[in-house]
Structure 1
């Protein structure tokens, strides 16, 4: 028997059903990922499974005694008490008693404490306490910390621990990686894989999906599709289904059109012997009226400014302190036009501070940061603070008023422009406070892309975006000719967008690595632990590891991008060489030293890129032998 089954479930919030007569079951040991565009009902379905929402019709059948724990997409912010008290509260009545006892430990109320000890013993609560302490330890949480003092990512980990202390038979996770750092996501993956727990989850994190999902189900236009395959196969089968659906609709519409022409011929169609054909036509009309068209695909365009100077940012021994604590220590990096830099590290390590330091919003306490010429920066804030929740979508994307925005100097009506980001005319007039997380993200992108830029700064842009919109954003950034700085926990996004990473190493140090997230893991895997730290002594180059004789998808994308990247760096080098040939430029302070250093760095990048190109060519040659 299934742990839980949905039978003929329907629910609507006015108008077209969000879930339309769907049936679905969860069997023990499965790890099921629910996919679908934003707004297709994924979270609603999760809440029905969790018993939080009731469907309009249909039934939910749960095996007797099945314990379900649910981690919602939105984590409560204003929770009083310690981490221990918050986590213990998820363990039922015994957990609530333990949380109360924990809150009284420093109060000295002996009589109340004695009563609680008695109640906990009667509820078999000491066994529950062992579970709570084990989960806190596995989660890496400090039970004494005040919940209100934690970052968003740690708060999410606390509520995950709160769900786990229930020792559920079925764990429901709605966008569990939002606001988690990469280390926490890796821990979550390892924990779930080792626990053997039955899991149903919603995610936009394709790495998490690929590693955890043993089954994929998709919500599309109110209907559920069950795909028992991996993600790559799902994408292929899904596209084949859409192509077949489009062909079937084309044939159906052609047949309907022919029947309508026949009916309009008049008297012959109304003879008794043709009444069956008329009834068939009516059924076709009804079937056509019930058809639910697939939602439009987002269509984005970035407004680009005139290109910046060759040197975009140059940090030398830059440090920033908060009190006596070094948030950023001895940062050295040169960012050139066209570079795509990802920034990764644990929550609270200073990634956003690093962005503000590079952008000049705060000044270094030590060292220098120079910014290049003609920089036009657009900043995507992870907290979406630039959006006014009281104003409408329209008013936020056109804050100056009016009904026109300009994208790459071309005028667009606001409604037409917002449709590119999947906002209907009704939604365009809705206040921002009514939007979902995914809609707010799309609105931020819509607002951001109307401003011409040659430096895009993105702080966690992938939160709440569905995978389709996420992949479109990746393609858009891939064709952007400016420079990109991005903070992200999305490993697949980093693989597909950035050319190098600034990775946090501890104690305020960030170190640059060439390539995306997977490239970083390969580089770290070949190093001894001491080599990953800033002060470590250099080691001899290790011999190349045995490679599989075929390029991966990531390597194929890298191979295709390398010629353009090399050309860009060579053009920059030519510009510097030309400027160094002009005697007038040497009147500028520091010109000779800066130009020589930048020229050397570009030459090293070009040399490394050619070497990498040759390596990738050799892999393919070996495969073709």
Structure 2
């Protein structure tokens, strides 16, 4: 018998159906990962299963006396009391022992007597996770459980869920976590739920196979539709009785094609290039720093750090929570002044900083106001662009663009911050946990964009697969307080340490890591010279496993499928602009209006040329 059953569940927010009659049955032993684009209702579905909201119609049933615990994405800022008191009061029914609650709080790096309301957003999330785990429920519902966890703690959580969580439904952007934990997959797409009785990796293989089949079917459909449209344009008397059926079939095909156009597109991620920086990006020499209000003023958070970052480096910064990763970023940006040592930055640097707390966004202002101050246009790549057109590249339709940021999902807020940053030219990207809450497809696109980015990238992330695929070097803050430089991805470093080999060149020490409760104890011994950064990144990358076979990927297949429509739209707009400019009255308009439309024509022609080039490039790849 299923522990949880959803039958024909429907739910509407406004005019659009969020769930259009979905069915889901969760049996004991299922560890299901729920996938889907940001904003499609994944978090809402978890809250519905937990009984926090009711469906408009259909049935959501939980077996009698089954205990359910939910880690919600919503930040519970109103609770007054300690972290331990939160855990004890959050239980429903209240059956958590203090010993169990303290055990999980300690394991997640939290103090039981800390005031809940005084904690950072990440600290509150870890307390909420501790409360859910300590409840020992029959069904555990987790919404982005690895957010605000360091990598070692995420690995510990993987093992704990594999051993102890009999039944689990989770939302996660962490692909390594999903691969390790899930034995079922469900995907939410435009109100429908599709279930797969397999793990995450097998799901990816099945999805690629299904995509291939769909591509062939759609190609045949498109050829037939084009032929029928040509038949109609040739002036056949289609109103004759024997042709009416053919016309009705054509109208039906048009509607089917329109429905395909209305499907969710892909995020168009592109960072504006500010040109080459100087060869040296940053030189850090014997850097030490202690916060003025530190309880251990004689123990610097960062001590004696020396490293050099060169143009084109893609450096991962990893380590336990509290080790000093974000502090290092703020020192590099000049937001903090070191107690000793110095940071020398290179020439012609134009940095962009993605702050994991998204402090650059005003939650009370709308999406458009956050992006452009409320103006209809913004400058992208040196050219004016309508703000709604730019936002559609990041999957915000005009209606969503008028909403305040505070009602957006976590992933939508991250997309908005990326949109805000990428409108500005840069040659140095500093990204502090950019993958939090992003759906996996957008995460893939961000990964590819960073690989093609011509500038320098500094990346703080707990996402192991993302780090492995993007970075060429790592600065590792270890649990025993050392800081190591290593050429290669994070998993390469772990494998080397696990094999008892030196974990890279010692670059300094960090006090924060030694206090982290998320440590696994796999601390490398300090070594010198075995993996010098003087080795070229290219040589290091060449010795690593190939990231993926060069064949048509899932997102590239989606892109290839959408290009004919995009090309047709650009050709139509270019024709409209040429027609307008052929009218003598056109040049009697205001000069700004003429310049705007002339610039739009040039932009459309450049986009058309790029689209044809991309179509040829993708069409040559094997499927």
Specify the TM-score bucket, using the shorter chain as the normaliser. Answer: 0.7 to 0.9
Measured in 1, the distance between the counterparts of 2:121 and 2:213 equals 44
Corresponding residue of 1:145: 114
Moved more, 318-327 or 170-179: 318-327
SS of structure 2 residue aligned to 1:18: strand
**Superposition deviation, residue 195 in structure 1:** 0.7
More helix by share: 1
Corresponding residue of 1:124: none
Corresponding residue of 1:598: none
Measured in 2, the distance between the counterparts of 1:501 and 1:357 equals 18
SS of structure 1 residue aligned to 2:263: coil
Bigger CA radius of gyration? 1
Measured in 1, the distance between the counterparts of 2:538 and 2:253 equals 60
1:303 to 269, 272, 291: 272
CA contact (8 A) 1:174 1:202 kept: yes
Corresponding residue of 1:350: 324
2:157 to 167, 188, 199: 188
**Superposition deviation, residue 469 in structure 1:** 0.6
Change (3 A) 1:82 1:264: farther
Corresponding residue of 1:22: 22
CA contact (8 A) 1:312 1:336 kept: yes
2:379 to 391, 396, 405: 405
Measured in 1, the distance between the counterparts of 2:405 and 2:237 equals 49
Corresponding residue of 2:68: 68
Corresponding residue of 1:457: 430
Moved more, 6-15 or 223-232: 223-232
**Superposition deviation, residue 42 in structure 1:** 1.1
CA contact (8 A) 2:183 2:200 kept: no
CA contact (8 A) 1:69 1:168 kept: yes
Aligned length: 522
Corresponding residue of 1:500: 473
Measured in 2, the distance between the counterparts of 1:397 and 1:538 equals 47
Q: Deviations over 1:321-355 (max 9, x none)?
A: 12314111111101111111111122222211110
- TM-score, scaled to structure 2: 0.76
Measured in 1, the distance between the counterparts of 2:66 and 2:391 equals 45
Measured in 2, the distance between the counterparts of 1:285 and 1:83 equals 58
Moved more, 175-184 or 139-148: 139-148
SS of structure 2 residue aligned to 1:472: helix
SS of structure 2 residue aligned to 1:443: helix
**Superposition deviation, residue 46 in structure 1:** 1.1
Measured in 2, the distance between the counterparts of 1:283 and 1:318 equals 68
Change (3 A) 1:385 1:612: closer
Residue 392 of structure 1 pairs with residue 366 of structure 2: yes
Corresponding residue of 1:479: 452
Corresponding residue of 1:440: 413
CA contact (8 A) 1:151 1:348 kept: no
Q: How does 1:39-50 map to 2 (within 5 A)?
A: 39-50=39-50
Change (3 A) 1:512 1:68: same
Residue 605 of structure 1 pairs with residue 535 of structure 2: yes
**Superposition deviation, residue 509 in structure 1:** 4.3
Corresponding residue of 1:368: 342
Corresponding residue of 1:561: none
Moved more, 199-208 or 242-251: 242-251
Measured in 2, the distance between the counterparts of 1:402 and 1:616 equals 47
**Superposition deviation, residue 532 in structure 1:** 9.5
**Superposition deviation, residue 59 in structure 1:** 0.7
Residue 169 of structure 1 pairs with residue 169 of structure 2: no
**Superposition deviation, residue 8 in structure 1:** 1.1
Q: How does 1:130-141 map to 2 (within 5 A)?
A: 131-136=100-105, 139=108, 141=110
Change (3 A) 1:263 1:21: farther
Measured in 1, the distance between the counterparts of 2:372 and 2:204 equals 36
CA contact (8 A) 2:8 2:57 kept: yes
- TM-score, scaled to structure 1: 0.76
**Superposition deviation, residue 611 in structure 1:** 7.1
Measured in 2, the distance between the counterparts of 1:160 and 1:214 equals 21
Corresponding residue of 1:525: 498
1:235 to 198, 201, 204: 204
Measured in 1, the distance between the counterparts of 2:504 and 2:448 equals 35
Corresponding residue of 2:170: 201
Q: Deviations over 1:13-42 (max 9, x none)?
A: 122321111111001011100111112221
RMSD: 3.4
